[in-house]
Amino acid sequence: MVMIDHVGCVYRSTEEAHHVLGHCLGLRLLRSFTLSPEGSRDLFGRDDALEVLVFGTDRRVVEALLVADHAPTRTVSHVALQVAQLEETLHRCEEGGLEVRSTWVGDHWVFFVADCAGNLFELKGGRPNQDPAAEGGRV
């Protein structure tokens, strides 16, 4: 059996990571550490030390790797997060300037949040499924 232990996302700064993971997604900072230049080279092919912020709830969920020269890209790779209050989380993300995307798939809504660093988060939660025509196809 394979289970995901954590996911790593790249941010350009501590402030960016705290804004997205802390404020918008509601995760708390659990700890932080520095990966040495040797470790960074061995694991990621980089020659610089990497600051890592570990955010989560009861368990570690997301490691924010701080890379100042990171250039966001459009991708289909994403992390799916289960959130307790989906509507509130989506609202915080929109208020925080993140792009909230939604579409009707089969018999339910699918919600994605795109952040400033190019990371995509699929948010799953307690929102009742509704017909897309009832809401015009958006949250």
What is the tens place of the pLDDT at every residue in 50-64?
Answer: 999 999 987 668 999
pTM to 2 decimals?
Answer: 0.78
Is residue 2 situated within a structural domain? Answer: no
d(CA 137, CA 139): 7
Q: In which residue ranges of the chain is pLDDT below 50?
A: 127-139
* CA 56-59-65 angle, 5° bins: 45
Is residue 107 situated within a structural domain? Answer: yes
Is residue 37 situated within a structural domain? Answer: yes
Q: Which domain holds residue 93?
A: 7-134
Is residue 60 situated within a structural domain? Answer: yes
- Confirm if 57 and 84 have CB atoms less than 8 A apart: no
Is residue 72 situated within a structural domain? Answer: yes
Provide the CATH number for the domain around residue 20. Answer: 3.10.180.10
Is residue 121 situated within a structural domain? Answer: yes
Q: What is the pLDDT of residue 135?
A: 45
Q: What is the pLDDT of residue 136?
A: 43
- Confirm if 12 and 67 have CB atoms less than 8 A apart: yes
Q: What is the pLDDT of residue 2?
A: 63
Is residue 24 situated within a structural domain? Answer: yes
Is residue 92 situated within a structural domain? Answer: yes
Into how many domains does the chain fold?
Answer: 1
Q: What is the pLDDT of residue 12?
A: 94
Long-range contacts of 74-77 (CB under 8 A, 24+ apart): 74/118, 75/118, 75/120, 76/120, 77/120
